């Protein structure tokens, strides 16, 4: 019997995406094995951070790296080390801010559910621009002695009102202000692991529990040696505000192996597997007699490079009804309410699960 069922929980099939709400992603056997082995012995956690950070940086073509308990914990740590400047005393006092630096500049067009972590540090968020446009002079004009950093959400969709990252970096550099890039979900392609650091960002954040398929409570900051040294100096296991987001040795071990798997992965082959999953589903669904339009969208929800299958419904059907039908059958799928469509991400589906999703989706579509 399944572990969850034995304990009174019925699991779902995740055809929606790598959402934390459902558990994110699945770890590979060797990742789980590494976590098990890491759990068996005691180590100096700080030494482990330094050593595995070094290895992760080499692996991904970055200058330095630091493991966190997730992208959200990483955002908090990045914010804190910017505010604390180089003072351990300042850091220990957070969220009470003793220094001058206390503002993070964020574009309104990029505000998202995750940037609350910045405010946890005690800092203020200064918004610039609007949904349509952000002007260079707004960024330049809002930088002052209180500016602790500029935070950039690296989604490649919804960038309508944003300045390009390169522009933001160029302006921030002029005033010696660090740029933090939240690229939590920006994989694939794997080249993104170094793309934003190469563009000149000081700290770039990835979630470990999404497409990287590491532990759900893991994340990584890639950055310049100077900033990563500060992460090591102030971050957990040290006491202070970021102790709320400590990283276990098991999570570090798991994320490191997940990164190795990811870097070694044949991207084309993986893409083929994802398409095969979607092909199985669309072939089955295309057979039903209801009016629907099936379409492969070549991007993930924040512009990542992987395919999703969209199923546009006729007026007689509603996406809400289909989603709730599937949910009752313990299947999560996505909903695009504006276009009255439902969609399937192949990222977390085994073939057998894809066949179940196809069957149940057909049933839902044919139900009156
Ligand atoms: C998922 C996500 C996070 C949080 O990642 P965790 O690893 O779950 O903490 C932060 N920012 C963005 C943009 C995300 O998509």
pLDDT tens digits, 231-253? 999 999 999 999 999 999 999 99
The residue contributing the CA closest to ligand 1 atom 14 is: 184
Pocket lining: 217 vs ligand 1, CB cutoff 6 Å = no
Buried b (16+ CB within 10 A) or exposed e, 198-224: ebbbbbbbbbbbbbbbbbbbbbbbbbb
Checking if the pLDDT of 267 tops 70, the result is yes
Q: What is residue 108's DSSP assignment? A: G
Give tens-digit pLDDT for 30-45: 999 999 999 999 999 9
Closest CA to 26 of 231, 210, 240: 210
> What pLDDT does residue 143 have?
98
pLDDT(1) > 80 = no
- For ligand 1, atom 13, the nearest C-alpha belongs to 184
> Which domains does the chain carry?
3-21+266-367 (3.90.1150.10), 42-264 (3.40.640.10)
Residues 6+ apart with CB under 8 A from 215: 27, 31, 35, 208, 209, 250, 251, 254, 255, 258
Helix/strand/coil for 28: coil
Over the stretch 131-159, which tens digit does the pLDDT of each residue have? 999 999 999 999 999 999 999 999 877 68
Distance CA 187, CA 210 (A): 9
- Going from the Cα of 68 to the center of ligand 1, the distance in angstroms, rounded, reads 12
pLDDT for the residue 156: 75
Binding site membership of 144 for ligand 1 (Cβ less than 6 Å): no
The answer to whether residues 252 and 217 touch, using CB atoms and an 8 Å cutoff, is no
Beta carbon of 70 within 6 Å of any ligand 1 atom: yes
Q: In angstroms, what is the span from residue 269 Cα to ligand 1's centroid?
A: 26
Q: Output the six-digit token pair for 192.
A: 């993104």
CB of 158 within 6 A of ligand 1: the answer is no
Residue 368 has pLDDT above 80, yes or no: no
Q: Give the atom of ligand 1 at the shortest distance from the alpha carbon of 218.
A: 7
- The residues pairing with 330 across neighbouring beta strands, listed in sequence order, are none
Q: From the CA of 313, how far away is ligand 1's center (Å)?
A: 31
Model pLDDT for residues 310-352, shown as the tens digit of each residue: 999 998 899 999 999 999 999 999 999 999 999 999 999 999 9
Q: ∠ CA(106), CA(236), CA(36), 5° rounding? A: 115
């Amino acid at each position: 019997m399944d572990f969850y069922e034995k304990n009174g929980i019925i699991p779902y099939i995740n055809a929606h995406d790598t959402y934390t709400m459902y558990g994110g992603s699945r770890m590979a056997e060797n990742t789980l094995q590494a976590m098990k082995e890491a759990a068996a012995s005691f180590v100096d956690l700080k030494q482990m951070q330094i050593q595995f950070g070094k290895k992760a940086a080499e692996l991904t073509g970055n200058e330095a790296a630091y493991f966190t308990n997730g992208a959200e914990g990483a955002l908090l740590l990045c914010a804190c080390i910017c505010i604390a400047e180089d003072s351990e005393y300042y850091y220990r006092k957070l969220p009470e801010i003793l220094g001058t630096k206390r503002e993070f500049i964020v574009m309104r067009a990029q505000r998202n559910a995750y940037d609350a972590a910045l405010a946890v540090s005690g800092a203020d968020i200064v918004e610039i621009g609007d949904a349509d446009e952000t002007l260079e002079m707004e960024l330049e004009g809002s930088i002052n002695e209180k500016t602790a950093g500029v935070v950039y959400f690296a989604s490649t969709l919804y960038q309508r009102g944003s300045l390009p990252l390169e522009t933001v970096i160029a302006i921030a550099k002029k005033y010696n202000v660090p740029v933090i890039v939240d690229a939590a979900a920006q994989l694939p392609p794997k080249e993104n692991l170094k793309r934003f650091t190469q563009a000149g960002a000081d700290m770039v954040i990835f979630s470990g529990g999404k497409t990287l398929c590491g532990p759900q409570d893991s994340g990584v900051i890639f950055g310049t040696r100077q900033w990563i040294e500060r992460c090591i100096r102030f971050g957990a296991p040290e006491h202070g505000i970021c102790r709320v987001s400590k990283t276990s040795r098991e999570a570090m071990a798991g994320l490191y192996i997940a990164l190795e798997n990811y870097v070694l992965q044949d991207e084309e082959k993986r893409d083929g597997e994802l398409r095969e999953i979607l092909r199985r589903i669309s072939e089955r669904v295309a057979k039903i007699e209801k009016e629907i339009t099936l379409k492969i969208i070549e991007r993930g929800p924040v512009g990542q490079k992987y395919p999703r299958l969209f199923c546009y419904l006729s007026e007689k059907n509603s996406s809400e009804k289909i989603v709730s039908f599937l949910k009752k059958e313990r299947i999560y799928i996505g909903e695009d309410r504006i276009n009255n469509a439902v969609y399937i991400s192949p990222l977390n589906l085994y073939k057998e699960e894809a066949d179940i999703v196809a069957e149940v989706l057909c049933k839902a579509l044919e139900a009156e």
